[in-house]
Amino acid sequence: MSNEERKIVLPSQVLGDTKSNRAGRGTFIEDGRIISGKLGILNANSNYINVIPLKGRYEPTVDDFVIGVVEEALSAGWLVDINAPSPAFLHVNEVPWDIEFGDTEKYLNRGDSIMAKVTQIDELKKFQITLKDRNLYKIKGGHIIEVEPSRVPRIIGKKGSMIALIKKYIRCRIFVGQNGKIWVDGDTESIERVLQTIYKIESEAITFGLTNRIEELLKKDAKDVR
Amino acid sequence: MKVDIKLIDDNGKRLDGRSTEELRKIKIEAGVLHRADGSCYLEWGGNKVLVAVYGPREAIPRHTQNPLRAIVNARYNMAAFSVEDRKRPGPDRRSREISKVISEALEKIVLTEQFPRSAIDVNIEVLDAEAGTRCAGLTAAGVALADAGIPMKDIPVACAAGKIAGQVVMDLGKEEDNFGDADLPIAISPRTNEILLLQMDGHLTLEEFNRALDLAIKGCHTVSEIQKKTILDKYQSVEGVE
């Protein structure tokens, strides 16, 4: 994120015209003018005008890592809630196990959590996910919390700097899904501290110098620094 | 029924001391419920309305899904304690009609084609009623939708005009609604002035109608400014933009 002033825009606000700019995410065009379609922060990037939403549902893009909760086991796969407008489909061919037809319930059932990757989105916004990749598996143990999906980039930080920071000062395992679900594992005290840190990042997501402030906070009550 | 109540006094002031082109006092607060995706609390004169927005999420039952766009389900409900005599709880003819017209008004401004097969639920609870609850509800729904981060073309806004004691006036109060000659609630998209909702109760001549419509549109723009200011204030303070 750049250091220029962050301007909050409302739906219906006119942001520019199509002659000198192009309409990016979160905007639409009407009568040659680019208009904001969302409540968000204005972001101009190489003549694209974008609106980065402050709130709202997760909008999947291909290759996103997400954390999902199984909603229903069908005979040919599972329906998984990934915080999107509709559930994603996980086909039996997309899991690392060899499953007989109709035996899906033995492997994943309602309420189970998985780390998955978005593989396909069709024009009807039907989402397909997979478990066949590195670091994708069924989650056992740990703790899942939910944050606003628009805050995920801030929690991860530039090239994972924020997550690296948390891992440096607190002994824990963290996995951040692009859909705003975060899995944390460790002892009770560590989890508690991670949650506090993440909620602080979430509430102060668009302020400046956040990484430094979080580092100071973590340093203050750090026990074993690695 | 003959009523000897003077709705406009000799100085041109109304029962609550307003002039003919004055709105009642409006107070809006965004993001008041933390479990809902978006919410809004609105006070408009004696009306108190709470709106919660959920979604977009999968439309249930499945046969209501539209494969090309999202559906907007607005549910207008009056609390039992919102009126003088206790209102029998549950949907009735009137609240179902208002739910329908508000759903249709909101469907026009939400960018529904971005969420096929989904539903956006808008729950409008009227806690205290004093004429003009559908306008108050729709105005609050607009703020709550923006607060929920739902993509839309504009923030919808509603306002009413009417005719009392032979004069066209803005935003009817309770007695004016009960004993007046006509009520014209409208909702518009303030950027384009498109009409999203228009209902009329009573009789107006064509000239009176045109005058009332202009007045209501003017009122909508005033309310729209309050809506926008509310949302901006809320997010500028919460996000601590430096």
| Residue A1 is assigned to a structural domain of this protein | no
Is the confidence at residue B210, as pLDDT, over 60?
yes
- Pair (A152, A184) in one structural domain: yes
| Residue A93 is assigned to a structural domain of this protein | yes
What tokens appear for A149 in the block?
């999906």
Residue A99 to residue A132: CA distance in whole angstroms: 14
Mean pLDDT, rounded, of chain B: 93
Residue B46 to residue B130: CA distance in whole angstroms: 5
Question: In this complex, is the C-beta atom of A137 within 8 Å of any C-beta atom belonging to chain B?
Answer: no
Q: Provide the ipTM.
A: 0.85
Question: In B20-173, at which residue ranges do the beta strands (DSSP E only) sit?
Answer: 26-30, 38-44, 47-58, 71-78, 118-128, 157-164, 167-170
All domains of chain B in start order, with CATH: 26-235 (3.30.230.70)
| Residue A137 is assigned to a structural domain of this protein | no
| Residue A60 is assigned to a structural domain of this protein | no
CATH code where residue A199 lies: 3.30.1370.10
> Could you tell me the residue range of the domain that residue A171 belongs to?
143-220
What tokens appear for A41 in the block?
């922060």
Average pLDDT of span B31-45: 95
| Percent over 70 (pLDDT), chain B | 96
- Pair (A208, A152) in one structural domain: yes
Contact A97, A123 (CB under 8 A): no
CATH code where residue A99 lies: 2.40.50.140
Please give the pLDDT value at position B231: 94
Is the confidence at residue B138, as pLDDT, over 50?
yes
Please give the pLDDT value at position A202: 85
| Residue A169 is assigned to a structural domain of this protein | yes
CATH code where residue A26 lies: 2.40.50.100
**Do the chains contact at A39 and B147, CB–CB below 8 Å?**
yes
Residue A220 to residue A215: CA distance in whole angstroms: 9
Question: In this complex, is the C-beta atom of B235 within 8 Å of any C-beta atom belonging to chain A?
Answer: yes
Residue B50 to residue B38: CA distance in whole angstroms: 11
When CB atoms are compared, the residue of B58, B150, B191 closest to A87 is B58
- From chain B residues 204-233, the ones with a CB under 8 A of any chain A CB are 228, 231-232
**Do the chains contact at B58 and A86, CB–CB below 8 Å?**
yes
**Do the chains contact at A54 and B240, CB–CB below 8 Å?**
no
Exposed / middle / buried, residue B149 (Cβ in 10 Å: 0-12, 13-18, 19+): buried
Tens-place pLDDT, residues B92-120 = 999 999 999 999 999 999 999 999 999 99
Please give the pLDDT value at position A5: 61
Q: Which residues of chain A have pLDDT under 70?
A: 1-5, 206, 222-226
| Residue A80 is assigned to a structural domain of this protein | yes
A152-168 per-residue burial string, b: 16 or more CB within 10 A, e: under 16: bebbbbeeeebbebbee
| Residue A98 is assigned to a structural domain of this protein | yes
- From chain B residues 175-204, the ones with a CB under 8 A of any chain A CB are 189-191
Question: In this complex, is the C-beta atom of B37 within 8 Å of any C-beta atom belonging to chain A?
Answer: yes
| Residue A59 is assigned to a structural domain of this protein | no
- Pair (A118, A166) in one structural domain: no
Please give the pLDDT value at position A20: 86
When CB atoms are compared, the residue of B118, B149, B154 closest to A56 is B149
- Pair (A177, A124) in one structural domain: no
Q: Which residues contact A37 (CB under 8 A, 6 or more apart)?
A: A11, A26, A27, A28, A51, B111, B151, B152, B153
**Do the chains contact at B241 and A6, CB–CB below 8 Å?**
yes
Average pLDDT of span B209-233: 96
- Least Cα separation, residue B191 to chain A (angstroms): 7
Please give the pLDDT value at position A4: 52
Please give the pLDDT value at position A1: 43
Final residue before a domain boundary, out of A80, A109, A130: A130
Q: Which residues of chain A lie closer than 8 angstroms to B154, CB-CB?
A: 11-12
Whole-angstrom CA distances from A18 to A8, B34, B153 are: 21, 38, 17
Q: Which residues contact B161 (CB under 8 A, 6 or more apart)?
A: B168, B169, B170, B171, B172, B184, B186, B212, B213, B215, B216, B219
Residue B140 to residue B145: CA distance in whole angstroms: 9
Q: Which residues of chain B lie closer than 8 angstroms to A6, CB-CB?
A: 239, 241
Residue B58 to residue B128: CA distance in whole angstroms: 32
- Pair (A182, A214) in one structural domain: yes
**Do the chains contact at B240 and A8, CB–CB below 8 Å?**
no
Contact B183, B162 (CB under 8 A): yes
Number of domains forming the structure of chain A: 3
What tokens appear for B228 in the block?
């926008």
Question: In this complex, is the C-beta atom of A142 within 8 Å of any C-beta atom belonging to chain B?
Answer: no
**Do the chains contact at B155 and A56, CB–CB below 8 Å?**
no
- Pair (A152, A216) in one structural domain: yes
- Pair (A147, A204) in one structural domain: yes
Please give the pLDDT value at position A223: 64
**Do the chains contact at A56 and B190, CB–CB below 8 Å?**
no
Question: In this complex, is the C-beta atom of A105 within 8 Å of any C-beta atom belonging to chain B?
Answer: no
Final residue before a domain boundary, out of A83, A105, A130: A130
Spell out the alpha helix ranges (H) of chain A: 152-156, 161-169, 188-203, 210-220
Q: Which residues of chain A lie closer than 8 angstroms to B67, CB-CB?
A: 124
- Pair (A125, A103) in one structural domain: yes
Q: Which residues of chain B lie closer than 8 angstroms to A87, CB-CB?
A: 58
- Pair (A119, A174) in one structural domain: no
- Least Cα separation, residue B79 to chain A (angstroms): 29
Nearest Cα neighbor of A50 from A31, A25, A29 is A25
Residue A93 to residue A130: CA distance in whole angstroms: 9
Average pLDDT of span B80-90: 94
Angle between helices A210-220 and A188-203 (to 10 degrees): 150
**Do the chains contact at A57 and B116, CB–CB below 8 Å?**
no
Q: Is the pTM of this model over 0.95?
A: no
- Pair (A77, A36) in one structural domain: no
- Pair (A151, A207) in one structural domain: yes
Residue B143 to residue B28: CA distance in whole angstroms: 9
When CB atoms are compared, the residue of A5, A11, A54 closest to B152 is A11
φ, ψ of residue B2 in degrees (nearest 5): -95, 125
Average pLDDT of span B184-189: 97
Tens-place pLDDT, residues A56-65 = 899 999 999 9
What tokens appear for A1 in the block?
């994120």
**Do the chains contact at B117 and A208, CB–CB below 8 Å?**
no
**Do the chains contact at A39 and B149, CB–CB below 8 Å?**
yes
Contact B183, B134 (CB under 8 A): no
- Pair (A124, A157) in one structural domain: no
B48-62 per-residue burial string, b: 16 or more CB within 10 A, e: under 16: bbbbbbbbbbbbeee
